[in-house]
Structure 1
Amino acid sequence: MNLNSKDMACVGVCFGTPEAPCLTTVPIRDATFSVTSICREPKADEARADEANDVRLPASESYFLMLYLEDAEHADIRADDSCTKVRHFARGTICLVDLADGAAIRLNSRLRSLAFVLPKALFSETAELSPEIGRRRLICRRGEPDSVLRNLGTALLAFFAGTGTAPASLRPVAVAICAHLLHRYGEPIEESVGKAQGALMREEPGTTLRPIATQIGRAKSHLANHALSLEDIAHACDFDDLGHFERVFVGETGVTPSVWRRRGLH
Structure 2
Amino acid sequence: MHLTPSPSTMAPRDALGCTASTLVHDDELDAGGVRVYRKAVTMTELGPVETAPSDRGLLLGISLAPGHRRRIVHARHASTHDFGCGAIYLRDFGERYRADMKTGFDFLLVEFPQAVLRQTTERPLALGELLAASPVGAHDAVLHHLALALLPALGRPQPGCGLFVEQVTAAMAAQLLLRAGASQPAGTRARRRLSPRQEARAKEMLSMRVDGDQSAQAVAEACGLSRSYFIEAFRETTGQTPYQWVQAQRLARAQALLAQPGLSLAAIALACGFADQSHFTRVFTRHMGMPPGTWRRSAGH
Equivalent residue, structure 2, for 1:125: 119
Structure in which a larger fraction of residues adopt strand: 1
1:77 aligned partner:
73
Which residue type is aligned with residue 63 of structure 1?
L
Of residues 149, 152, 166 in structure 1, which corresponds to 2:146? Answer: 152
1:37 Cα deviation (Å)? Answer: 0.4
Match of 2:175 in 1: 180
Aligned residues: percent identity? 20
Q: After superposing the two structures, state which structure 1 stretch, 52-61 or 148-157, moved more.
A: 52-61
1:11 alignment counterpart: 15
Does 1:168 pair with 2:171?
A: no
Question: Quick check: 1:42–1:107 contact (8 Å CA) kept in 2?
Answer: no
In structure 2, which of residues 84, 87, 95 is the aligned counterpart of residue 90 of structure 1? 84
CA contact (8 A) 1:64 1:96 kept: yes
Cα deviation per residue 1:43-96 (whole Å; 9 max; x = unaligned)? 64xxxxxxx51001222231111101112101002336x743x32111111011
The offset of 1:102, in angstroms, is 2.5
Q: Distance in 1 between matches of 2:35 and 2:108?
A: 10
Question: Normalized against structure 2, the TM-score is what?
Answer: 0.48
The alignment status of 1:67 with 2:62, answered yes or no, reads yes
Alignment of 1:109-124 (within 5 A): 109-124=103-118
Provide TM-score, normalisation by structure 1: 0.54
Name which of 51, 57, 60 aligns with 1:57. Answer: 51
Q: Deviations over 1:78-131 (max 9, x none)?
A: 336x743x321111110112221132110000011112211111111222xxxx
- Distance in 1, matches of 2:34 and 2:109, equals 11
Asked whether 1:136 is paired with 2:141, we answer no
Task: Give the distance between the partners of 1:179 and 1:35, measured in 2 at CA.
Answer: 16
* 3-state SS in 2 of match to 1:134: coil
Provide the residue aligned with 2:198 in structure 1. none
Amino acid at match of 1:54: P
3-state SS, counterpart of residue 136 of structure 1: coil
Distance 1:60 1:116 in 2: 16
The one-letter code of the counterpart of 1:134 is: R
Distance (Å, rounded) in 2 between the aligned partners of 1:156 and 1:96: 18
CA deviations on 1:162-209 (whole Å, 9 max, x unpaired) are: 148852221111111111111213559xxxxxxxxxxxxxxxxxxxxx
**Cα pair distance change 1:186/1:55, threshold 3 Å:** farther
Q: CA RMSD in A?
A: 2.6
Runs ≥4 in structure 1, deviation > 6 angstroms? Answer: none
Distance 1:40 1:123 in 2: 29
1:30-53 residue CA offsets vs partner (Å, 9 max, x unmatched): xx2111101113364xxxxxxx51
Counterparts of 1:27-42 in structure 2 under 5 Å? 32-42=33-43
Tell me how far apart the structure 2 counterparts of residues 148 and 16 of structure 1 sit (CA, whole Å): 29
Work out which of the two has the higher radius of gyration on C-alpha atoms and give 1 or 2: 2
Measured in 2, the distance between the counterparts of 1:22 and 1:58 equals 20
Structure with the bigger RCO (C-alpha within 8 Å, sep 6+) is 1
- Contact 1:66-1:116 within 8 A present in 2 as well: yes
The reply on whether 1:106 has 2:110 as its aligned counterpart is no
Equivalent residue number for residue 25 of structure 1? 31
8 Å contact 1:42–1:108 — kept in the other structure? Answer: no
Tell me the distance in 2 between the aligned counterparts of 1:186 and 1:58: 30
CA–CA separation in structure 1 for the residues paired with 2:116 and 2:64: 24
More helix as a share of residues: 2
Judge conservation of contact 1:17–1:40 (CA < 8 Å) in 2: no
Distance 1:164 1:15 in 2: 26
